[in-house]
Amino acid sequence: MTYKADFRIWRGDTDGGELRDFKVEVNEGEVVLDIIHRLQATQAPDLAVRWNCKAGKCGSCSAEINGRPRLLCMTRMSTFAPDEVVTVTPMRTFPVIRDLVTDVSFNYAKARQVPSFTPPEGLKPGEYRMQQVDVERSQEFRKCIECFLCQNTCHVIRDFEDNKAAFSGPRFLMRIAELDMHPLDVADRQKAAQEEHGLGLCNITKCCTDVCPEHIHITDNALIPMKERVADRKYDPLVWLGNKIRRRGSGD
């Protein structure tokens, strides 16, 4: 079925912008990114949009469609009624560059603040074998395509610009959880998660999980387990006492 859809696209840059109306052809099986490309080809050749794989794997085409953070390439036009106005805006948590393209360097800065995998001193390559059950747990987190939709939708920084300095966001708290669950990592991730990356600011309202195109259970499998590990470390006197008595760390 081919029809003319009503699109409303945000056009502008750091100096200002507006939502502009377009009427554009839609064919069966198309996704929103196809329509954006048709707009570029027929009506708005200077429309800026970041994209790459068109397969939901590169994480480039993150935007907001009818107010919901989505990948443009993974949002089927069949999910909208033919008479529905489809509004597309850039992600509203990051500074805009132009049209649908935002500056996501906040995320790269936060990524650099997470120390990389830290094996025990003196351990040489080839001296350690991972068991499958130990690998599986963090494997889920490695599906992340870094589209930053979770960062975009997280109200801690979306609604409160001031929190950006103190909060790394779900993507990088998940990275910290992944490393903390690694059997070989010896860095102190728990203290850093709470004190340097703002885990306490997360109120586990699960928007990061809701928008993840890879369906990673960010909240249940990364953020909440990390909160529990931090509670062991900072808020549970009985665990603290037990570890003191048995002289046991978190190396289990």
Partner 1 sequence: MATGTTGPAGSTGTNAPGRAHIRARHLRTDRWWLSPAVTVTILSAFIVYSTWRAFANDDYFAEPYVSPFYSPCLASECDSMPMSANAPLFGDWWGLSPALLILIFPLGFRLTCYYYRKAYYRGFWASPSACAVPEPRGSYSGETRFPLILQNIHRYFFWFAAVVAVILTWDVLIAFRDEHGAWGHMGLGTLVLLANVLLIWAYTLSCHSCRHIVGGKLKHFSKHPVRYRLWGFVSRLNGRHMELAWASLFGVALADLYVYLVASGAFDDPRFF
DSSP assigned state of 222: I
Tokens of 150: 């979770």
List the beta bridge partners of residue 17.
12
Q: Which of residues 141-170 bind partner 1 (CB under 8 A)?
A: 153, 155-156, 158-163
Tokens of 75: 């949002």
The region that residue 4 occupies, defined by phi over 0 for left and psi between -120 and 50 for alpha, beta otherwise, is beta
Tokens of 158: 């979306």
The Cβ of residue 223 has, within 10 Å, a number of other Cβ atoms equal to 23
For the bound state, the minimum distance from the C-beta of residue 210 to partner 1, rounded and expressed in Å, comes to 5
| Side-chain-facing half-sphere of 92: CA atoms under 13 Å | 17
Check binding of 16 to partner 1 (CB under 8 A): yes
- Rounded to a whole number, what is the largest CA-CA distance in the chain? 73
Q: How far apart are the first and last CA of the chain?
A: 59
For the bound state, the minimum distance from the C-beta of residue 115 to partner 1, rounded and expressed in Å, comes to 17
The Cα 141–Cα 138 span in angstroms is 5
The Cα 127–Cα 61 span in angstroms is 41
| Residue from 47, 207, 212, 216 in contact with partner 1 (CB under 8 A) | 207
Piece in contact with partner 1 (CB under 8 A), picked from 49-57, 81-89, 107-115, 168-176: 81-89
For the bound state, the minimum distance from the C-beta of residue 10 to partner 1, rounded and expressed in Å, comes to 6
The Cα 223–Cα 174 span in angstroms is 6
For the bound state, the minimum distance from the C-beta of residue 152 to partner 1, rounded and expressed in Å, comes to 8
Check binding of 182 to partner 1 (CB under 8 A): yes
For the bound state, the minimum distance from the C-beta of residue 116 to partner 1, rounded and expressed in Å, comes to 18
| Residue from 5, 71, 72, 90 in contact with partner 1 (CB under 8 A) | 90
CB 177 within 8 Å of CB 223: yes
| Residue from 6, 17, 43, 118 in contact with partner 1 (CB under 8 A) | 17
For the bound state, the minimum distance from the C-beta of residue 173 to partner 1, rounded and expressed in Å, comes to 12
Check binding of 82 to partner 1 (CB under 8 A): no
Check binding of 126 to partner 1 (CB under 8 A): no
| Residue from 9, 192, 211, 212 in contact with partner 1 (CB under 8 A) | 211
Binding site for partner 1 (CB under 8 A): 8, 10, 12, 14-21, 64, 66-69, 84, 87, 89-90, 92-96, 102-103, 131, 133-134, 137, 153, 155-156, 158-163, 180-183, 198, 200-207, 210-211, 220, 224-225, 227-232, 234-236, 250-252
